[in-house]
Amino acid sequence: MIPDHYHYLLINLLTVAYPLAQSYERRIRFLRNWRAILTGIAVAGAIYLAWDELFTALGVWGFNERYLLGIYIGRLPLEEYNFFLTVPFACLFIYEVLNHFIKKDPLYDHHQMITFFVLLCTLFLGVYFYPRLYTSACFFLTAILMSLQFFVFRFRWMGRFYAGYFVALVPFLLMNGWLTGAFTDEPIVWYNDLENMGLRIFSIPAEDSMYLLSYLFLATIFYERTKLKSPAIR
């Protein structure tokens, strides 16, 4: 039986345990790109932590003290800060593993079509559900980022990014399900359904899938840019 106040901490540890243990694996050597990893995590994390702090203050979501250590920085528990370290680390690890073992980009020929489809869907849903704050903010931000990719950036690694994202969704849904009450008596992180669509994937607000997409896209942009500029440590 896990003591209640260790639940969120344990989720963070399980999220990062395998990627961290395998980061020195000789074929991938993920941590040789440590500058790029830290840059991607730091830039995206700073933006989304500010968002997290604001939406916590506005009551869009909140945290159940029963499952926390009780250490806060601002309105956010320490575990939430750890979440913004462990999740992008694990997802960038998945991205690199797929790049190593799948030599040909499986979605290269389709990535612009996927981007345009996501752009249209998020733009429509953001408008349709306005002014529900989480839905509109999440979908509008994703639409903006997808617009930049489609019309401006046109990153050639985008197909590989989507492949990594689709794989990362599986553990993300499992861990986020734990956070939102799938395996506990009460949710560890609660959402105000007046500020979202009210549509759940298991116990998880559907918006979280696009939250993850936009968050990882930002992290991957700075990860790839820094990796190109910095020689890897061999």
For 67-76, write each residue's pLDDT tens digit: 999 999 999 9
Task: Give the model confidence (pLDDT) of 69-128 as tens digits.
Answer: 999 999 999 999 999 999 999 999 999 999 999 999 999 999 999 999 999 999 999 999
pLDDT on residue 231: 59
Q: Indicate if the pLDDT at residue 171 is higher than 50.
A: yes
- Closest to 91 measured CA to CA, from 51, 141, 44, 145: 44
Residue 202: Cβ within 10 Å count:
11
Residue in this structure with the two tokens 């669509």, named with its chain if needed: 197
- Closest to 126 measured CA to CA, from 137, 138, 136: 136
Spatial distance between the Cα atoms of 8 and 21, rounded to a whole number of angstroms: 20
> In 63-110, which residue ranges form alpha helices assigned H by DSSP?
78-101
- Closest to 43 measured CA to CA, from 95, 5, 92: 92
pLDDT on residue 217: 98
Q: Chain-wide mean pLDDT for the chain?
A: 95
Largest CA distance in the chain: 52
Task: Give the model confidence (pLDDT) of 172-221 as tens digits.
Answer: 999 999 999 999 999 999 999 999 999 999 999 999 999 999 999 999 99
Which residues, in sequence order, are CB contacts of 51 under 8 Å at separation 6+? Answer: 137
Residue 184, burial from CB neighbour count under 10 angstroms (0-12, 13-18, 19+): middle
Calculate what percentage of the chain has a pLDDT beyond 90: 94
Residue 203, burial from CB neighbour count under 10 angstroms (0-12, 13-18, 19+): middle
> Which of the four pLDDT bands, split at 50, 70 and 90, describes residue 233?
very low
Taking CB atoms within 8 Å and a gap of at least 24, the contacts of 104-107 are 105/157, 105/159, 105/160, 105/163, 106/159, 106/163, 107/158, 107/159, 107/160, 107/162, 107/163
Q: Indicate if the pLDDT at residue 232 is higher than 70.
A: no
